[in-house]
Amino acid sequence: MFVRIKKNKSGSQTVLLIKGERHPDKKHCIPKIIKNFGVSRDAKVIDELKKQAEEYKAKLEAESPKAKILKIITGDDVKSCCSYNVGFSDIYQNAFNKVFGKLELKNINRLRDLVTMRIAAPSSKLRTANLADEYGIALNVDNIYKFMDKLNIPTIESIKQTIYQHTAKLLNNHKEKLDVLFYDLTTIYFETGTQDEIRDFGFSKDGKHQHVQIMLAVIVTKEGLPVDYEEFPGNCYEGHTLIPVLNKIKKRYNIDKSVLVADAALMNKINLSELDQRGIQYVIAARIKNAKKNIKDLIFNTEGYQDMGFVSDNIKAKAIPTDEGDLIVSYHSSNRARKDKHDRTKALEKIKKHIDSTAKSKLTSSLKKPYVKVSKNCKINIDYNKLDTDQKFDGFFGLRTNIKNANPADLLASYRGLWQVEQTFRIAKNNLEIRPVFHYSPRRIRAHFVICYIALALVRYVCFSLKRNSIDIPCERLHLLLGKMRKTLLVDSNDEAFEFLEDPPSELIPVYMALKINWHPKFQHKVIL
C-alpha cells in the first residue's frame, strides 16, 4: 500500500492511495486504487492531500491484522503437516452451489460432498468416506448411508427438475433451444445374483450376463447436457422403454416441440405410431436390410438420389414414403461403401482359414456373419448367394422420420449427434464408475443413481461452460489437472496454521478465470476454528 502523486496532462496532480494485487496470470502486481483524495495545481494543497492520504494509510494498516510469521528451525517447530486436494472442490462444489443453491434439502452440503467425491475418486461408500480427507472433505460412512436413505422419490424428482431447468437456462443464455433430444439405453450390472422387483437377469450390454442388472434410459441435448433419466427392470425389452419415459417426462417438461433422435433398437410400429399420434417428431435409424422388398428396390434404384454437397464424402440421399405414413431417407456414402468392402474382405480372409475345419469351437465373433453357413457335418462354408446380397448394401444406410419436407443433410446431422448419449454413458461408466452397484435396497439403489446423475450433470455443465469460453478440454484431462491442484496445511508449535499452494498446473489458470473462481494465494495464514 502506497501513496501516488499522479501528474495529469492538464498540469494538475492527483493524490491516490494504491494497493498492489497479484493475479495468477500476471507476472507483476496490478495497482488498485483504494481512495482518490483529490486533484489540484497548488503545491500546498497537494501536500495537504498527501498528508491526508498518509494518515488514512496508517489507519488502515493499524486496523488490519498483523501478519503471522512462520519460523521453522527444527522438526520440533512443526506440530502437524498434511497435504490435500483443492481442485475438485473448487470446480465442482462451485458448480453444485450454482445449480442447487435454492434446493430445499436438509444436509445439502453432504450431498454436495458425495457428488464431489464421486467425480474425484469414484468408489464404494466406505472407501469414499476413507478417501474424503485427502480432498479436504469430512465424511462418515454411517452418515452417508443415513443420508442416502432420506433421498426419497419426491426429493429425487425435485433434483431432476432442477437439473432440467438449469439445462434449459444454460441453453437460453447462449441463445440456443432445447429442440433436439437424444435417447438411448444402457445396462448397469450388480455384484450379486439376487433378483428383486428391479434387479433381474437380461441381455447385458457390458457382457455381464451372469449378473443381475437394471436398464438405465437417458435423454440429453445435442450439446450433451442432461434432460432426464429413468430406471427399468433388468429383463425389460429395450423397445418398450421409450413410451413410458416420454409419458413421465411429459408431465415434468415440455418436449412436444422437440425432435427425438434414437437408435434402431427403438424402432417398432407401436413406438412410431405413438410418437406420431402425440405429434412428436422423430429421427430413428432404419434397418434397411429388414425392409420390405418394394422399399429395398427403391433404395437400390439410383434414380432420385441427390448429392448433399459434402466435401469430404460423396453422400447422396432420397426420401422414400412408407406404408405407415412416414419416410425412410436412404443415403449412399462412397466412403462407407469402401469401408464395408474392406471390412468384408478382412472377414472373408479370417473365415477362409477355418473352411476345412469343423465348426465346433470355431464359431467366434469373426465367423458370425450372414454369409457363413454350417453344413450337416459341421463344416464351415461361405454362402455366396447371401454374400452377393450383403454386397448390395455397401455404402447404404437409412433414417426413418415423420418430419415432412425435411432436409436430408439436417436429418443426418441430427442423427450423428447421437454420440452425445454414448459419450454420456462412457463418462458415467468409466469416469464416474456407476457400475458395478453394490447396494441391494431399492431406496439406496435410487440414491446411488441420483448421486451419479448429479455428478454427470456437473461434469457436463463445466465442460459446456469451458467450451463457450473457447477452452476445449476433455473431462479426463481436466480431472488430471485438478488432481495436481493441492495445498499443504502446516501447524507450528504455537498452534498457528499456514497453507501453501503446491506448484499448481498453469493450464488451470484460464479454467478458473472462465468459471469465475478465485485463484488461491501461494501462502496464507489460516485460522482453525
State the angle between helix axes of 108-120 and 475-482 in degrees (0 to 180), rounded to the nearest 10: 100
Q: What is the pLDDT of residues 10-44, one digit of tens each?
A: 889 998 888 877 666 666 777 888 888 888 888 88
Whether 19 and 32 have beta carbons less than 8 Å apart is answered as yes
pLDDT exceeds cutoff 60 at 492 = yes
Average model confidence (pLDDT) across the chain: 84
Read off the DSSP letter of residue 137: -
Q: What is the pLDDT of residues 403-426, one digit of tens each?
A: 888 888 888 888 888 888 788 878
Cα–Cα separations (whole angstroms), residue 250 to 73, 227, 247, 280, 411: 68, 12, 5, 11, 24
Residues 478 and 113: their CA atoms lie apart, in Å, by 19
What pLDDT, on a 0 to 100 scale, did the predictor assign at position 358? 59
Q: Is 370 helix (H, G, I), strand (E, B) or coil?
A: coil
Residues 15 and 304: their CA atoms lie apart, in Å, by 80
Residues 136 and 121: their CA atoms lie apart, in Å, by 13
What pLDDT, on a 0 to 100 scale, did the predictor assign at position 199? 79
Report the share of the chain in percent with pLDDT over 90. Answer: 25
What pLDDT, on a 0 to 100 scale, did the predictor assign at position 360? 52
What pLDDT, on a 0 to 100 scale, did the predictor assign at position 162? 92
pLDDT category at 254 given cuts 50, 70, 90 is low
**pLDDT (average), residues 173-200:** 80
What pLDDT, on a 0 to 100 scale, did the predictor assign at position 196? 73
Residues 388 and 300: their CA atoms lie apart, in Å, by 14
pLDDT category at 507 given cuts 50, 70, 90 is very high
pLDDT category at 477 given cuts 50, 70, 90 is very high
pLDDT exceeds cutoff 70 at 529 = no
pLDDT category at 496 given cuts 50, 70, 90 is confident
pLDDT exceeds cutoff 90 at 99 = yes
pLDDT exceeds cutoff 80 at 368 = no
**Which pairing describes strands 259-262 and 180-189: parallel, antiparallel, or unpaired?**
parallel
Q: Is 242 helix (H, G, I), strand (E, B) or coil?
A: helix
C-alpha cell read off for 86 = 483443492
**pLDDT (average), residues 86-103:** 93
pLDDT category at 282 given cuts 50, 70, 90 is confident
pLDDT exceeds cutoff 90 at 461 = yes
Residues whose CB is less than 8 angstroms from the CB of residue 381 and which lie 6 or more positions away in sequence, other chains included: 355, 372, 373, 374, 375
pLDDT category at 176 given cuts 50, 70, 90 is confident
Q: Is 246 helix (H, G, I), strand (E, B) or coil?
A: helix
**Residue 463 identity (one-letter amino acid):** C
Report the share of the chain in percent with pLDDT over 70. Answer: 91
Question: What are the residue boundaries of the structural domains of the chain, listed by start?
Answer: 2-63, 284-407
What pLDDT, on a 0 to 100 scale, did the predictor assign at position 26? 65
Residues whose CB is less than 8 angstroms from the CB of residue 346 and which lie 6 or more positions away in sequence, other chains included: none
Instruction: Return the number of other C-beta atoms located less than 10 Å from residue 66's C-beta.
Output: 8
Q: Phi and psi dihedrals of 369, rounded to 5?
A: -120, 155
What pLDDT, on a 0 to 100 scale, did the predictor assign at position 478? 94
Higher pLDDT, 55 or 207: 55
**244-258, 350-364, 459-473, 484-498, range with the lowest pLDDT:** 350-364
pLDDT exceeds cutoff 60 at 445 = yes
Whether 476 and 431 have beta carbons less than 8 Å apart is answered as yes
pLDDT exceeds cutoff 90 at 482 = yes
pLDDT category at 231 given cuts 50, 70, 90 is confident
Residues 171 and 178: their CA atoms lie apart, in Å, by 7
What pLDDT, on a 0 to 100 scale, did the predictor assign at position 69? 65
Give the length of the chain.
529
